[in-house]
Amino acid sequence: MKLVIVESPAKAKTIQKYLGSEYSVIASNGHIFDLPEKSMGIDVSDNFKPSYVVSPNKKQQLDAIKKLLKQPHEEVYLATDPDREGEAISWHLASNLNIPFDSRVEFNEISEKTIRKAIQNPRPINLSLVNAQQARRVLDRLVGYKISPVLTIKIRKGASAGRVQSVALRMIVDREREILKFVPEEYWNINACLLKPSEKKHPFKALLADKSGVKLKVTNTEQANQILADLGHAQNWIVNKVKRGTSKSRPAPPFMTSTLQQDGSQKLGLTAPQVMQIAQQLYEGIEVAGHGHLAFITYIRTDSVRVSAEMQQEALNMIKSTYGAEYAPAKPNFYATKSQNAQDAHEAIRPISLEITPESVKNSLQRNQYRLYKLIYDRFIASQMTEAQYSTLNVHIQAKISDSENYGFKVSGRTLLFKGYMIAYETERSPKEIEDGETSDLLPDLQENDVLALTKILSEQKFTKPPSRYTDATLIKAMEENGIGRPSTYATVIITLTKRAYCKKEQKYMIPTELGISVTDFMMLYFKEIIDIHFTADMEAKLDKVEQGLKWEALISDFYPRLTNCITQAVKATSQKHNNEEVSDTICELCGSNMVIRDGRYGKFLACPNFPNCRSHKPIKEIVAKCPKCGTGNILKKKSKRGTAFYGCDNYPECTFLSWDVPAPMLCPTCQGPMRVVKKQGTTNYVCIDKNCKTSVAPKEQELDAN
């Protein structure tokens, strides 16, 4: 009997099916040994030596592995995931369970052929990969463990910082501030609707571009009206320039982790964490009717777009037989990885077998499993196909106003000559191609000196738009472009920002909360270097170099003094009240200090400035009006246990006034019952809550000011 140790139960089940009864396959369920949960676990004085312990929820799994190891085995194979984390898991298991260090096996896909080949070629554990994982783990633990307590004291209990998390939050906050500071600029689009008299079935629009050959930008109503008036006197509309050509569109490379998360978000409407969760299922294996437990795709944590020569040839054969020889390039397509720091250890994300088409397994997959597999499958096939080809037409048209003055309009179009890869994977046109009617797919056969007929002029006032808030896809793209984090961490970062209530989602957009803004402002004030984008990217590059032999302890020892200096300065500078804390007139009932207003997960609240020595806190009482029932109490806005707003008197229980509507500060003059505030079309009125009474009173001017 031979023993194989993998990471996940689903993966173990798939591999067990391929290896049969000669092997026993068991999962570690991720890291069994890790840094302790309730202490830092790093000896700063001993060259940052980490202290690993058995994770509390992994003791049972460790016992199961030990029990199997006690049985006689011909060989033991460590087959954890083929990345830094997987290498570290194997190292921990070998170090603690007396497993030979040369029993590491690695495979990029879970297929019988690949697994058996890997088992025939075990290798030693790669200590450079292990050190690369340890460097990140230690650095992240130091940043989180050292900064988070300061945030907890100064911002809110449970607030946390992270080496990558805090930078991503800063990017979201910076974008929000860009939007708030944005001042829209007016501009006008003026389009001429034109016809070639001999081809009346093909009307088209052309966009105003210049005046007498000088580029023209219309920025106000007066300018637009003057142009429209001039065009009303145009003597003729003539085609004065025609440029014909051809263009090609190359297919996109197969997916890597970041682009899979981006397309999964944009095209399927999934969050980045959902994409990674479903992709993990497709990688580890799913029960399929007629096939048993089947893995669908290669390893999902990669920043490479490389494809094996064997798989490229298989794809070309499939393309020729399915679509025709003209859709297969003469030589296989090769793609360069954009990032200089990319790890090219694995192939791109692709199907394991092209024979397992999405349609053939649709009934065995959940809806999103099928959709994501189809996205991966189609993208890979398209990446190995020929280019799409277009004929292009760029036209410039003159509207002659006088002998010395004319307005120029432009229009461009293209016609698909050969679909190429688009027969398998349709791509969306870019916004630039369809912007403001400048591009038309269908144009008549225009020639220079053609005289055109004007049917109408369309003018539209527009305003420049602020930059868009980040979505999962655009945040991942920005992090990737700036070298922040690594593809395997993007989804985790997004989960953390939402879980910590630093961001909230409105539709698909990420909006920083007041708490997220407060944390970022504090970090910018005292830990500016830690959340500097360029510094973080440089640190990421150095961490990658650990795989190439850079001593990770030296990297940490260079960074640590700067971290501790920032913490010292932050604690010293904030030992007194924060400059940005608003002092209230509410007295702390425990120590007598004036309470301060702070930001919390659910908004602002009152807190004692002497925290943590005094932990008194209370909600801010929002006074809406004087109580109409008792006349002495204040009506406060409160929340029920379900979070629903209601209004009650602060003299409770002496006064039992209660309302779900915003109450007016007076009783109904007709029935003496409560009234509510009704705002409609800019007008405020007090309306009796008794539907039978229906009395409505306009508030006095001083009452309106109060409200």
pLDDT tens, residue by residue, 598-639: 766 555 678 887 776 777 888 776 666 777 777 777 777 776
Identify the pLDDT of residue 673. Answer: 80
pLDDT bracket for residue 141 (50, 70, 90): very high
pLDDT confidence band for 16 (50 / 70 / 90) = very high
State residue 702's pLDDT score.
35
Question: Is pLDDT at 434 greater than 50 in this prediction?
Answer: no
**Tens digits of residue pLDDT in 225-275:** 999 999 999 999 999 999 999 999 999 999 999 999 999 999 999 999 999
Decide: 630 and 649 in contact? Cβ < 8 Å. yes
What value does the mean pLDDT take over residues 294-308?
93
Question: Residue 140's pLDDT is what?
Answer: 94
pLDDT, average across residues 105-117: 93
Residue 490 a catalytic site member: no
Long-range contacts of 156-161 (CB under 8 A, 24+ apart): 156/515, 156/518, 156/598, 156/599, 156/600, 156/601, 158/500, 159/500, 159/515, 159/519, 160/500, 161/519, 161/523, 161/527, 161/530
Residue with tokens 């002998």: 403
pLDDT band for position 338 (cuts 50, 70, 90): low
- CB 238, CB 400: distance < 8 Å: yes
Q: In this model, does residue 435 exceed pLDDT 90? A: no
Q: What pLDDT score was predicted for residue 246?
A: 93
Task: Report which of residues 561 and 659 the model is more confident about.
Answer: 561
Q: Half-sphere exposure (CA, 13 Å, Cβ side) for 508?
A: 17
Residue 68: per-residue pLDDT: 93
**Could you tell me the two tokens for 403?**
């002998």
- 570's tokens: 């932050």
In this predicted model, what pLDDT tens digit does every residue of 70-89 receive, in sequence order? 988 889 999 999 999 999 99
How many C-beta atoms surround the C-beta of residue 15 within 10 A? Answer: 24
Contact 399, 333 (CB under 8 A): no
pLDDT band at 443 (very low <50, low <70, confident <90, very high): confident
Mention every residue, 6+ apart, whose C-beta is less than 8 A from residue 104. 77, 78, 87, 90, 122, 123, 124, 125, 126
* Half-sphere exposure for 123 (CA within 13 Å, toward CB): 11
Whether the predicted pLDDT of 339 surpasses 50: yes
* Cα–Cα distance measured from residue 129 to residue 649, given in angstroms and rounded to the nearest whole number: 64
Catalytic-role residue among 23, 77, 283, 299: 299
As a whole number of angstroms, the distance between CA 144 and CA 431 comes to: 41
Per-residue pLDDT averaged across 527-547, rounded?
91
Residue 343 has what pLDDT? 52
Nearest 5°: the CA angle 359, 354, 379 is: 80
* Secondary element (H or E) of residue 491: helix 487-499
The predicted pLDDT at position 437 comes to: 41
Average per-residue pLDDT for the chain: 88
| Alpha-carbon distances, residue 294 vs 170, 417, 649 (angstroms) | 42, 40, 64
Q: Give yes or no for residue 134 having a pLDDT over 70.
A: yes
Q: What are phi and psi of 91, to 5 degrees?
A: -65, -45
The DSSP element (H or E) to which 206 belongs, if any, is strand 199-211
**Per-residue confidence at 653, pLDDT binned at 50, 70, 90?**
confident
Q: Which structural domains are found in the chain, ordered by start? A: 2-125 (3.40.50.140), 135-181+468-573 (1.10.460.10), 186-250+389-463 (2.70.20.10), 257-383 (1.10.290.10), 582-619 (no CATH), 625-706 (no CATH)
Q: What is the pLDDT of residue 48?
A: 95
Mean pLDDT of 15-22: 93
- The whole-number pLDDT of residue 290 equals 83
pLDDT at position 329 is 96
- The pLDDT assigned to 436 comes to 40
Q: How many CA atoms lie within 13 A of 247 on its CB side?
A: 11
Question: What is the C-alpha separation between 377 and 184, in angstroms, rounded?
Answer: 43
Average pLDDT over residues 110-131: 94
Of 52-61, 144-153, 327-336, 426-435, which gets the smallest average pLDDT? 426-435
| % the chain with pLDDT above 70 | 91
Percentage of the chain modeled with pLDDT above 90 = 66
Give the pLDDT of residue 641. Answer: 55
pLDDT of residue 668: 86
pTM of the full structure: 0.76
The letter for the amino acid at 600 is G
- pLDDT at position 570 over 80: yes
CB 408 within 8 A of CB 384: no
